[in-house]
Structure 1
């Protein structure tokens, strides 16, 4: 493989565009690839199909145009099968299990840094690159690759990268990690494409351009839209819910029932098709259990390992300690955390260093 050749995943947005531009400026031989991931056959809104995010038709044309302006070859490649199997099917299955999935993490693990990396090798490229805000370094002392938070703290995306392996990191470039702000990135894009520079940030779930995840689940075969009981933490029936996939831990609004006081979702009982409600205090948990764990700067740890953890992308990192537990880990927080949600990722840090993470399965006070 040519160790100066790099395949850049091009979404037609400002971040991937500037990533490709910067890598060419650095002297790499850059190839732009748009990954055709998903097209909802049931989505009737033609505008959303054409304009709705990185899976839309316009994204392909935007990516093709900027590649021509940068002066790099462009390919549109079909990754629909692997995306459906590893991201969409996982997304639907998670809701059927009463969990709240994180499709971006699954896409990074199985598509962008697995399937795309294999395609890059077929094209003779040594690297793949994306527009993620994160920094990859090699630690000479440990002889391991590390991921550090982006210099643009408000844009940092390391939370969604905890699953990356040493073998993958050896072949990944993320040139936006050293930028101080998104404004700096937009300014570079504006030098050669005003339209791209002005694009808004992509939405959270790229394959649901109308933002109606309940409608998406219904259209794509989710069975957990049947009515069931709202129950209290002591088991008393409080009313009827409209399908467990409509609810997530910590939710207060949109329950469709009034109780005379604020009530929050504190759990999902899939077996009995029940949504468990409690007061605000019941939403806090001190202990979290996770599996499918991956660590980056080391392979294992000693019980009582002190670090910080985030229980969701937008959460503040909080002090905790890690312990081995059966097939996964137990995380004990110094202060209880609000709305720990099964199916979401819990991700660990040592200051700016991304340590790793896992999938939340259960929690307790």
Structure 2
């Protein structure tokens, strides 16, 4: 097959490309330039998409003896990921930019261009597996190493995208195995630290970064009863589940700490309350997509058992889910959790599993606490 290897400049993508070459595929490496003003050097393991990363990707391709190109996707990345991130926070939601990047850049824009150029598949260093069922339908599954599994952030992929996706690291036992393989292959990125946090906020200060992008207006902090207990400098800087930095003027009656329960951007109000009210048992999701063909219960409008996960490395929780039209006739996903999940926020993504298989995902529109259901 003719394979386009997405080269981030990290060890995972380098080893994935090496495995694709070893498997006999015709491989071409490409590094995505996602910023028009990339930093020259990353800070430790923070950030990515720097000039250093581009250089490391080129060195890996040179070592593997494959062509190397840089594609400028910076304008689309800004529009589809960065601007979306800002807009979501401005609306009081908590977005996941990695989901948006996979959905709209790596497996939409990149795959679209790759197929137009005659490539059969896009190869990445994600830890996940693509399988086929007896009918030949493509399915997305967790990787063997659950500690590094990245199927959650790939939950936005469609059946058509899975048909052209290649994840050579699906069967590795650990990240240590990947680093050891990179060293054996003579790849210079073998000991390069993993990137983490949001790639376009390299110093990790999301609140400070947002303060420069969103107009912050002082407002009230109220408790779950509606009583004013403090003030804030900008509601958009808070996230559901936050405890630190509230600076409340009125202590709770029981003396226990309070947490952010809700952000109301239209009222410019932050709602706080006891930790118990963070225990969510019902989630309503919109913008549903299925990772492969949807299971039969979806088409029949029946509820089905599943495991629900709302963070990339969060623990999945047993649940039952059902798809039904909302008031506007648009499909909505209702997920009822068997066990409460703490601090779920609108804007996050809920990904559903059965066993190791990813069923699909939805953007969380509302999340209801135990005490508020009924």
Q: TM-score range by the shorter chain?
A: over 0.9
- Cα distance in 2, alignment partners of residues 364 and 218 from structure 1: 29
Equivalent in 5, 14, 17 of residue 14 of structure 2: 17
Which runs of 5 or more structure 1 residues have no equivalent in the other structure?
none
Contact 1:49 1:56 in 2 (8 A): no
- Cα distance in 1, alignment partners of residues 6 and 344 from structure 2: 32
Q: CA deviation at 1:53?
A: 3.4
Q: Counterparts of 1:329-348 in structure 2 under 5 Å?
A: 329-348=333-352
- Cα distance in 2, alignment partners of residues 106 and 64 from structure 1: 26
Are residue 174 (structure 1) and residue 171 (structure 2) matched? no
What's the secondary structure of 1:59's corresponding residue?
helix
Equivalent in 108, 114, 119 of residue 108 of structure 2: 114
Give the equivalent residue in structure 2 for 1:253: 244
- Cα distance in 1, alignment partners of residues 321 and 166 from structure 2: 30
97-106 or 253-262: bigger deviation = 253-262
CA RMSD of aligned residues (A): 1.9
258-267 or 182-191: bigger deviation = 258-267
* Count of residues in Structure 1 that have an aligned counterpart in Structure 2: 356
TM-score in terms of structure 1 length: 0.93
What's the secondary structure of 2:86's corresponding residue?
helix
Contact 1:39 1:207 in 2 (8 A): no
Equivalent in 195, 199, 213 of residue 192 of structure 2: 199
Q: CA deviation at 1:218?
A: 3.0
Are residue 99 (structure 1) and residue 96 (structure 2) matched? no
- What stretches of structure 1 move > 6 A for 4+ residues in a row? none
Q: Counterparts of 1:24-173 in structure 2 under 5 Å?
A: 24-39=21-36, 47-48=41-42, 53-141=47-135, 143-173=136-166
TM-score in terms of structure 2 length: 0.91
- Cα distance in 1, alignment partners of residues 179 and 103 from structure 2: 27
Give the equivalent residue in structure 2 for 1:267: 262
Which runs of 5 or more structure 2 residues have no equivalent in the other structure?
370-374
- Cα distance in 1, alignment partners of residues 199 and 159 from structure 2: 27
Q: Per-residue CA shift, 1:88-146, capped at 9, x if unaligned?
A: 011000000101110000000110011111221243211111100000011123x3100
Contact 2:303 2:323 in 1 (8 A): no
Q: CA deviation at 1:167?
A: 1.2
Contact 1:49 1:57 in 2 (8 A): no
- Cα distance in 2, alignment partners of residues 279 and 193 from structure 1: 54
Q: CA deviation at 1:338?
A: 0.9
What's the secondary structure of 2:48's corresponding residue?
helix
Q: CA deviation at 1:192?
A: 3.5
Instruction: Note closer, same or farther for the CA distance 1:40–1:101 as it changes in structure 2 (3 Å cut).
Output: farther
- Cα distance in 1, alignment partners of residues 185 and 48 from structure 2: 20
- Cα distance in 2, alignment partners of residues 47 and 65 from structure 1: 16
- Cα distance in 2, alignment partners of residues 297 and 47 from structure 1: 39
